[in-house]
Structure 1
Amino acid sequence: MLKNYLKIAWRNLAKNKAYTAINVGGLALGMAVTLIIGLWVEDELTHNKYFTNKDRIAQIFQSQTFNGETGTGPAIPRPLEKAFRDGYMDNFENLVMSSWNNSQYLKYGETSISRTGNFIQREAPDMFDLKILKGEKDGLREVNSIMLNESTANALFGDEDPIGKTIELNSQYDMMVTAVYEDIPVNNSFSETEFMSTWDAYTNSQEWVKNAENSWGNNSFQMFVQIADNTSMDRVTSIIRNVKKELDPDTEEFNPQLFLFPMKDWHLRSNFENGKQVGGRIKYVWLFGIIGAFVLLLACINFMNLSTARSEKRAKEVGIRKSIGSQRNQLINQFLGESFLVVLFAFLIAILLVLVFLSGFNELARKEILFPWGEVNFWLISLGFILFTALLAGSYPALYLSSFRPVDVLKGTFKAGKHSSLPRKILVVFQFTVSVAFIIGTVIVMQQINHAKNRPIGYDREGLVQIPTFSQDFTGKYELMRNEFLASGAVVEMSASSSPTTRIWSNRSGYTWEGKPEGFQEDLAWTAVTHEYASSLNLKIVQGRDFSREFPSDSSAVLLNETAVKYLGLENPVGMFLKDDAEEDPDEPLKIIGVVEDMIAQSPYEPVKQGMYVFDKYGMGAYYNLRLNPKQSASQNMAIVERIFVEHFPNIPFQFDFVDEQYGEKFAAEERIGRLSGIFTALAILISCLGLFGLTSFVAEQRTKEIGVRKVLGASVFNVWNMLSRDFLKLVTISCFIAMPISYYVMNGWLQEYPYRVILKWWIFALAMIGAMLVTVLTVSFQAIRAAKANPVKSLRTE
C-alpha cells in the first residue's frame, strides 16, 4: 500500500513540473531559512557551554544609586575580596579577583606579538575548567607564571615546547610559561582571553592597585565566583547584598547592592535599567525565532494554496477511488504521503542551500557555526521537523480533497463552491501581511541605525588614529614621540589620554563646588589627557580655553563637557573650582578652564554622559591620539608613523586603530540585525511571490476558455490583465492595512528602548505598501499578460 501511495505521489509530482518546482522550491527556501535561523538560535542559547561549571559560576555585580538613578555593572572595589574570604567563603567553592581583559605585548627571543589577556588569581583555571594541553592546571601558583592559549603559544614558540620558557610581558615582567590551554571557542565569554597571568604580579607592580587594597571607593576590579554545591545563586545574593555598605558606611548614601550575575545570563540577559535586569540579546533570539517560524509558515501556505487550487484537477481521481471502495482515511494518507514526499525533497534541497550559504551567513553574523553532521539530536529534530512541516502543509489539502462527493464529481456537476476560494484568499492575506510587516520593520531598523550614525559626535573622527601604549617602554617618551611624529609631516597634531576616544574607562565622584546642592550625588566620566587633546580631536571649545603649555598651573585644571555643566548646575563655570576629596592633596582644587562640546564616547543611541577631562600629570596615558596629515594619503602617513614607531620601540609590535572604524563598531550589532532582517524579509517576499505566481498561473489556466471568449468579443490585453490582477491586488491592499498598525505597535515599542531614536514617519508605511503593490503587480502581470496574449482560437478549439 505504501509503495503504491509513493508511486502515485511521484507520478503526480512528475506530471506537473511547474507546480512541483514552485512547491518544492518554495518549501526548500523556507526550510533553509528556518534551518539557518535554528542553528543561529542554538548557538546563542548554548553560549558558554564550553564551561562545565557554568551553572554555578557567576560574576559579582553591584548597583549604585546617584540622584535617584541606579546604575549596574561588574566593577567592584578590591577590599571586597578580603571581606568575602574572611566571612563568606562557606558560600563559595572558588573566588577569583581579576583585572580587565586588555591587549598586552608578549616577547620571546626576536618574536614580539600583541595578545589580549588578564591578570587573575590561581583558582581561575580550575574554576573555568580550562582544557590543558601542556603543563599543569595549577599554573598560576607562582608569582611569575603565565598560561597561554594554543594559538598564542604557536605564534610565540612555533614547534618549540613552551613549558618552562621565559617571556617578557609588556617589557615589565619576566614570566615563565607553565601551561598551554585549548583555545576557548568563539561562542564563549572568555574566547578573547589569550593568556592568563598572576594576580600577585599585577598587585605587586602597579602602585595604584596596591593603594586600592583598602579603598572601598575605587571600583576598578572584577570578581568571579563559583558557588558551593549546597546553595543557590539567589540565596548567596541575599546574603552578600549589603556587605559593602555595612563594611564601609561612607558608601551608604549610594546604596550599593551586590548580587551574583550568573554565567548563563552573561550573553543573553546582560542589560540593566535602573537596577533591574531587562533582557539583552535574548530579544534577538526571540526575533529571529519568530522570523524563522513565519518564513516556514509562508512556505507551507504556498503548498496549501496550490494544492487546494488544483483540487478540480484531481476531483475525478478522488471520485473514482471513492466509488471503488477507498475510505476517506486512505485518501487522507495518500495526500499526506504526497506532502511528505514534497517536504522530504524540499528538506534535501534546503540542506544543500544551507551548506552553500552557511559560510557567508557566518561572516555576516560573526559566527563560526558548523553544520552538525554528527549530532544525533539534530537529525532527530530534523525528522520531527519534516513530519511536522508535512502535516502542517498537507493536512488542509488532504482533508479538503478527500471530502469531495463521488456522485457529484462523476456526474460532472461538481463545483468547488462559491466560497471555496475563501481559505486561499485568507492565506494570501496572511502571507502578505507578514511580508509587509517584515518590510516595515527592516526599514525602521535601518532608519534607527542611520539616525544614530548621522548624530553629531562632537569631534572629527576622520584621519584620527589611536596607538595603545600599555608597555613600560612608553614611559617618559611622550614628548619625544610627539616631536618626532610632528616633524615627520605625517601627523599634524598629537595628544595622549587615559582611555580610548570611543570608550569611557573611569567614573569619579566625591567632588564639591560652590553652590553644590545638599545631598547631590555626582557621577562623572573621568579622562586624564595631555595638552593638545582638544585640538588633536578637533574638539570644539565652547567656553574658556584648552590646556596650554603657557600656563604651568594647568596641571591642576579641568575641562567639562556641556552636559556636565548642566548636570552640576553651573551657570558661569569657567574660573570655578572643583575640590576632589579623594585626592592625596584635597586642598589643591581643580580649576575649570573651559567647556568642550559634548563628545559621544559611549553608545550613540544614549545621551552623552557628563564628563570631565583632567590634565595628565601622572603619565596615565594609555593611548596616543594622532591627527594624520589630510594632504597625504592615510597609507602614506601610516607608513611614516610605523617607521618612527619601530625605530623607537623595536621590541613592540606596531598596533593602531582608526577611530572611525572603532566608532563604526558601535553600530555593528544593530547593523548585523538589520542586514539579516533585510535578507530574511527579501526571502519571505520571494516565497510569497512564488505562491502568488503559482496561483496566478492556475487561475489563468482555469479561465483559459473565458479569456478566449472575451478576446473574440473584443477585450484588450489590459482588460484581461485587469480581470486577472484586481483580485490579488485587493488581497494585498487588505494585507497592507492589517500589517501597518501591527508594525507600528511592535516597532514603536522596540524604539522605546533607545533614548535617542528616530520618529516614525507615515512615508515608511506608505513605501512598504507601494513596494508590496509593485511586487504583486510584477508577479501577477507576467502570467496575466501571457494569458491575455494567447491565441483565442487555440484555447476555444481544445474542448
Structure 2
Amino acid sequence: MFKNYLKIAWRNLLKNKGYSAINIGGLALGMAVTLIIGLWVHDELSHNNYFSKRDRIAQVFQSQTFNGNTDSGPAIPRPLEMGLRNGYMDNFKHLVMASWNNSVYLNYEDKSLSKTGNFMQEEAPELLGLTILKGEKNGLRKINSIMLSESVAQALFGEENPIGKVVRANSQYDMEVTAVFEDIPMNNSFNDLEYIMPWEKYLTIFEWIQNAEDQWGNNSFQMFVQLADNTSMEQVSATIKDVKKNLNEDTAEFNPQLFLLPMKDWYLRSSFENGKQVGGRIKYVWLFGIIGGFVLLLACINFMNLSTARSEKRAKEVGIRKSIGSQRNQLIYQFLSESFLVVLFAFCLAILIVLLSLDGFNDLAKKEIDFPWKDGLFWAISFAFILFTSLLAGSYPALYLSSFKPVDVLKGTMTTGKYAGLPRKILVILQFTVSVAFIIGTVIVMQQINYAKDRPVGYDKEGLVQIPTMSQDFEGKYDLMRSEFLTSGAVMEMSSSSAPTTQIWSNRGGFNWEGKPEGFQEDIAWTDVSPEYAKTLNLKILEGRDFSREFATDSNAVLINETAVKYMGLTDPVGKFIKDDDVEDPFPPLKIIGVVQDMIAQSPYEPVKQGIYAYDKHGNASFYNLRLNPDNSANENISTIESVFKSHFPDIPFQYDFVDSEYGEKFAAEERIGTLSAIFTALAILISCLGLFGLTSFVAEQRKKEIGVRKVLGASVFNVWNMLSKDFLKLVTISCFIAVPISYYIMNGWLQDYPYRVILEWWIFLLAIVGALAITILTVSFQAIKAANSNPVKSLRME
C-alpha cells in the first residue's frame, strides 16, 4: 500500500513540475538553513570536547569591588598558589599556575618562527590530558625543557626527530625539546597553544615576576585546577571563596572573592556583570537556534499554502476516490506520503546546498565545520527530522483535502465555510511577522556596528604599524632603530610602548593625589611609553605639554587622558603629582605634565577607561609604533622597514600589524552576527514570498470564475489587481503591527549589553514596514496581474 502511495505521489510531482520545483526548492532552502545553523550550534556546544576531563577542569576567578562596582576575571596574584596548596589541596587533583599567552621567537639552525604559548607548571600536560605523540608525558620537569605542538615541530624540524633537539627562545635562552603534543583543534580553548615552557623558567626570566611572590595586589597570573574525585565545583568554590581575603588583610577593602569557572563555561558563559554570571556567547547559540527553527517553520508554511492552492485541482480526484470506497485515513496517508516524498527530495537538495555553501560559511563564521558523513547520530536525527517535517508540512493539506465531500465536489457545488481561509491567513501573518522582525533586528545590529565604527578613536590609526619586540635582542636599541627607520624615509615618526595600541595590558591602583576622596578605590590603565608616543599616534594634547627629551625631569612625568581627569576629580590637573602608596614596590612622585584626548584601547562599545601614560625609563617596550610615510605606497614602506629590521635582527622573524586592521578585529564578532542575520533575513523573506505566492495562486484559482464574470462586466486590470491584493496587504500590515513591539522589546534588551549604543528610532521600524509592504505588492502583483489578464472565456465556458 505504501508503495502505491509513493507511486501516486511521484506521478503527481512529475505532472506538476513547476509546483513541485517551487515546493521542493522552498523546503530545501529552509532545511539547508536549519542544517547549517544546526551544525554551527553543535560546534558551539561541543567547544572543549577535546578535553576528556573537561567536567573536572576549572579556572580560578576572582571578583573585586571598586567603589561599589564588582569586576570579575581570571587574573589572580602569585601568592595565592601557596595559599591554596598549603591548606586546600584536598579539593584538587592538580593545580597549575600559568602565564598569559606569550609570543616567543623560536630559532633552530636557519629557521626562525614566532609562536604563541604559555609558561605552565609541571602538572599542566596531565591536567589538560594532552596527547603526547613523541617524547615524555612529564615534559616540563626540567627547567630548560620545552614541549612543542605537532605543527610547530614539523615546521622547525621537518622529518627529523625533534626530541632532544635544542631551540633558542627569544635569542636569550636554550630550550631542549622533551615532548611533541597533538595540535588542539580549533573549537577548543588552548587551540593556539603552540608551545609550553616550565613555570620555573618564567620565574627566572623576569625580575618583576620574582618580586611578585609576596604581592597579593599584583593580579598578573592565571591558575587552572582539576578537582579531586570526591568534590564538586559548587563545593570547592564555596570552600575557597574567602581565601585571599583571609590570607591578606590589605586586600580586604576590595572584598576579593574566589570562585571556579568550569571549563564548559569558558567559551559560552564567561560574561559577568557586577559579580554575577550573565551568560556570553550562549545568547548567540539560542538566537541562531531560534532563527533556524523559524526558517524551517516558514518553509513548512509554504508547503501548506502551495498544497492548498492546488486543492481545487485535486478536489475531483478526492471526490472520485471517496466515491469508489477510499476512507479518509487512506487519503490522509496518501497526502502524507506525498509530503514525505517532497521532504525527502528537499532534504537531499538541502544537503547539496549545505555542501556547496559550507566553505563560505566557515570563512564567514570563522569555523572549521565538516559535514558529519560518518556520524550515525546525525543521520538518525536527520531521519527523525525528515519525518517530523513531513508531518508538520503535510498535516494541514492532508486534513484539509481529505475533508472534501464527494457529492459536493462531483456536482461542482463545493463551497468553503466563512472561516475556511482563516488558517492560511494566520500562517501568512506568522510568516511576515517573523520576516519583519528579522528585518528590524538586522537593521539595528548593523546600525549598532556602524555607530561604534564611527565613534572617534582619539588617534590616527591610518598608516600606523606596530612591531612586537619580545626578544632580549631589542633591549637598548630603541634610539638606534628609531634613527634608522626615520632615515630610511619609510617612517615619519616612531615610538615604543609596553602594550599594543588597541589593548590595555596593565591596570594599577594604590595611588594617591591631592584631593583624592577618602576610601576611593582606583583602578587605572597603565602604559609605559617613549617620549614620541603622542606624536606617533597623533594624540591631541588638550592641556599642558607632551613629553620632551629636553627635560630630564620628564623621566618622572606622566600624561593622563580626559577620562582620568574626571575619574580622579582633578579640576586643574597639570602640575599635580601622583604618589605611590604601594610600600612593596614604590616609585617617586609622578608629575602630570599634560592631558591627552581619550583614545579607545579596549572595546569600542565600552566607555574609555581612565589611563596614565608614563615615561618609559626602564625599557619596558613590547612594541614599536611606526607612522608610515604617506608619500610612499604601503608595500614600499613595509619593504623598506623589513630591510632595516633584518639588517639589525637577522635571526628574528619580521612581524607587523596595521593598527587599523587590529582595531577592525574588535568588530569582527558583531559583524559576523550582523552578516549572518542579514543572510538569514534575506532567506526568510524569500521563503515568505514563496508562501505569499502560493496563497495568491490559491485565491486566484478559487476566484477565477468570479474574475471572469467581473471582466465580462467591464472590470479593468487594476480593479482585479486591487481586489486580489488588498486582502494580502491587510495581512502584512497586521504582521507589522505585531512584529514592531516584539522587535523593539528584544532588540532593546540586546542593546543593553553595550554601554555605548545606538538609540532606537522610529524610522527603523517604519523602514521595515514599508519594505515588507513593498515586497508584498511585488510578490502578489505577479499572480494578480496574470489572473487579471487571463481570458474570461476559458474560466466561464464550463458554465
Indicate whether the TM-score tops 0.5. Answer: yes
Deviation at 1:733, TM superposition (A): 1.3
Q: Counterpart in 2 of 1:755?
A: 755
* Contact 2:312–2:702 (8 Å) recurs in 1: no
* Contact 1:312–1:416 (8 Å) recurs in 2: no
Partners in 2 of 1:619 and 1:367 — Cα distance? Answer: 39
* Contact 2:308–2:698 (8 Å) recurs in 1: no
Partners in 1 of 2:461 and 2:103 — Cα distance? Answer: 22
TM-score, normalization: structure 2?
0.98
Aligned-partner SS, 1:503: coil
Aligned-partner SS, 1:638: helix
Task: Provide, for residues 497-550 of structure 1, a one-character-per-residue CA deviation record: whole Å limited to 9, x for no partner.
Answer: 100010001000001111211111111011111101111111111111111101
Letter of the aligned partner of 2:419 in structure 1? H
Q: Counterpart in 1 of 2:628?
A: 628
Deviation at 1:359, TM superposition (A): 0.5
Deviation at 1:798, TM superposition (A): 6.4
Structure 1 stretch displaced more, 30-39 or 112-121: 112-121
* Contact 1:464–1:625 (8 Å) recurs in 2: yes
Q: Counterpart in 1 of 2:381?
A: 381
Deviation at 1:757, TM superposition (A): 0.5
Task: Provide, for residues 633-670 of structure 1, a one-character-per-residue CA deviation record: whole Å limited to 9, x for no partner.
Answer: 11111111111001100000000000000000000000
Compared with structure 1, are the counterparts of its residues 113 and 585 closer, same or farther at alpha carbon in structure 2 (3 Å cutoff)? closer
Q: Counterpart in 2 of 1:403?
A: 403
2:703 is aligned with 1:703 = yes
Partners in 1 of 2:27 and 2:373 — Cα distance? Answer: 22
Partners in 1 of 2:212 and 2:376 — Cα distance? Answer: 52
Deviation at 1:714, TM superposition (A): 2.9
Q: Counterpart in 2 of 1:422?
A: 422
Letter of the aligned partner of 2:491 in structure 1? V
Q: Counterpart in 1 of 2:240?
A: 240
Q: Counterpart in 2 of 1:314?
A: 314
Task: Provide, for residues 157-190 of structure 1, a one-character-per-residue CA deviation record: whole Å limited to 9, x for no partner.
Answer: 1121111100011111101111111110000011
Q: Counterpart in 2 of 1:217?
A: 217
Partners in 2 of 1:616 and 1:68 — Cα distance? Answer: 33
Structure 1 stretch displaced more, 370-379 or 152-161: 152-161
Partners in 1 of 2:534 and 2:638 — Cα distance? Answer: 22
Deviation at 1:21, TM superposition (A): 1.4
Compared with structure 1, are the counterparts of its residues 798 and 183 closer, same or farther at alpha carbon in structure 2 (3 Å cutoff)? farther
Aligned-partner SS, 2:757: coil
Aligned-partner SS, 1:526: strand
Alignment map for 1:230-379 (pairs within 5 Å): 230-379=230-379
Segments of 5+ residues of structure 2 without an aligned counterpart are none
Deviation at 1:787, TM superposition (A): 2.6
Partners in 2 of 1:514 and 1:587 — Cα distance? Answer: 17
Letter of the aligned partner of 1:206 in structure 2? F
Letter of the aligned partner of 1:462 in structure 2? E
* Contact 1:5–1:334 (8 Å) recurs in 2: yes
Alignment map for 1:727-738 (pairs within 5 Å): 727-738=727-738
Alignment map for 1:45-124 (pairs within 5 Å): 45-124=45-124
Task: Provide, for residues 749-798 of structure 1, a one-character-per-residue CA deviation record: whole Å limited to 9, x for no partner.
Answer: 11111111000111111111111111111111222222323344444446
* Contact 1:705–1:795 (8 Å) recurs in 2: yes
Partners in 2 of 1:374 and 1:138 — Cα distance? Answer: 35
Segments of 5+ residues of structure 1 without an aligned counterpart are none
Q: Counterpart in 1 of 2:497?
A: 497
Deviation at 1:405, TM superposition (A): 2.4
Structure 1 stretch displaced more, 629-638 or 682-691: 629-638
Alignment map for 1:119-130 (pairs within 5 Å): 119-130=119-130
* Contact 1:19–1:694 (8 Å) recurs in 2: no
Partners in 2 of 1:357 and 1:325 — Cα distance? Answer: 49
Compared with structure 1, are the counterparts of its residues 99 and 385 closer, same or farther at alpha carbon in structure 2 (3 Å cutoff)? same
Aligned-partner SS, 2:391: helix
Letter of the aligned partner of 1:484 in structure 2? E
Letter of the aligned partner of 1:250 in structure 2? D
Letter of the aligned partner of 2:663 in structure 1? Y
Task: Provide, for residues 393-428 of structure 1, a one-character-per-residue CA deviation record: whole Å limited to 9, x for no partner.
Answer: 111222222222233323332212232111101100
Aligned-partner SS, 2:279: coil
Q: Counterpart in 2 of 1:181?
A: 181
Partners in 2 of 1:260 and 1:587 — Cα distance? Answer: 35
Q: Counterpart in 2 of 1:137?
A: 137
* Contact 1:22–1:694 (8 Å) recurs in 2: no
Letter of the aligned partner of 1:681 in structure 2? T
Q: Counterpart in 2 of 1:7?
A: 7
Q: Counterpart in 1 of 2:194?
A: 194
Partners in 1 of 2:631 and 2:791 — Cα distance? Answer: 69
Letter of the aligned partner of 2:380 in structure 1? L
Partners in 2 of 1:797 and 1:313 — Cα distance? Answer: 17
Deviation at 1:107, TM superposition (A): 0.6
Partners in 2 of 1:64 and 1:432 — Cα distance? Answer: 48
* Contact 1:133–1:180 (8 Å) recurs in 2: yes
Compared with structure 1, are the counterparts of its residues 310 and 36 closer, same or farther at alpha carbon in structure 2 (3 Å cutoff)? same
Deviation at 1:316, TM superposition (A): 2.5
Structure 1 stretch displaced more, 782-791 or 637-646: 782-791
Letter of the aligned partner of 2:326 in structure 1? S
Compared with structure 1, are the counterparts of its residues 587 and 393 closer, same or farther at alpha carbon in structure 2 (3 Å cutoff)? closer
* Contact 2:135–2:180 (8 Å) recurs in 1: yes
Structure 1 stretch displaced more, 321-330 or 765-774: 321-330
Task: Provide, for residues 234-256 of structure 1, a one-character-per-residue CA deviation record: whole Å limited to 9, x for no partner.
Answer: 11111111111111100000111
Alignment map for 1:631-710 (pairs within 5 Å): 631-710=631-710
Partners in 2 of 1:113 and 1:528 — Cα distance? Answer: 27
Alignment map for 1:499-538 (pairs within 5 Å): 499-538=499-538
Alignment map for 1:562-601 (pairs within 5 Å): 562-582=562-582, 586=586, 588-601=588-601
Aligned-partner SS, 1:660: helix
Partners in 2 of 1:521 and 1:665 — Cα distance? Answer: 32
* Contact 2:54–2:263 (8 Å) recurs in 1: yes
Structure 1 stretch displaced more, 252-261 or 313-322: 313-322
Alignment map for 1:711-722 (pairs within 5 Å): 711-722=711-722
Alignment map for 1:442-453 (pairs within 5 Å): 442-453=442-453
Task: Provide, for residues 315-362 of structure 1, a one-character-per-residue CA deviation record: whole Å limited to 9, x for no partner.
Answer: 222233333332222222221111111111111110000000001000
Q: Counterpart in 2 of 1:40?
A: 40
Compared with structure 1, are the counterparts of its residues 646 and 323 closer, same or farther at alpha carbon in structure 2 (3 Å cutoff)? same
Deviation at 1:693, TM superposition (A): 1.6
Deviation at 1:263, TM superposition (A): 0.4
Deviation at 1:580, TM superposition (A): 0.9
Deviation at 1:463, TM superposition (A): 0.5
Structure 1 stretch displaced more, 189-198 or 402-411: 402-411
Partners in 2 of 1:235 and 1:405 — Cα distance? Answer: 68
Aligned-partner SS, 1:278: strand
* Contact 1:117–1:195 (8 Å) recurs in 2: yes
Deviation at 1:86, TM superposition (A): 1.3
Q: Identity of aligned pairs, percent?
A: 76
Partners in 1 of 2:587 and 2:158 — Cα distance? Answer: 56
Partners in 2 of 1:701 and 1:620 — Cα distance? Answer: 79
Structure 1 stretch displaced more, 314-323 or 563-572: 314-323
Letter of the aligned partner of 1:298 in structure 2? L
| RMSD between superposed Cα atoms in Å | 1.3
Q: Counterpart in 1 of 2:616?
A: 616
Structure 1 stretch displaced more, 28-37 or 542-551: 542-551
Deviation at 1:679, TM superposition (A): 0.2
TM-score, normalization: structure 1?
0.98
Partners in 2 of 1:586 and 1:448 — Cα distance? Answer: 43
Structure 1 stretch displaced more, 71-80 or 17-26: 17-26
* Contact 1:306–1:691 (8 Å) recurs in 2: yes
Task: Provide, for residues 260-287 of structure 1, a one-character-per-residue CA deviation record: whole Å limited to 9, x for no partner.
Answer: 1110000000101111100000000000
Q: Counterpart in 1 of 2:770?
A: 770
* Contact 2:77–2:215 (8 Å) recurs in 1: yes
Structure 1 stretch displaced more, 282-291 or 760-769: 760-769
Aligned-partner SS, 2:598: coil
* Contact 1:22–1:691 (8 Å) recurs in 2: no
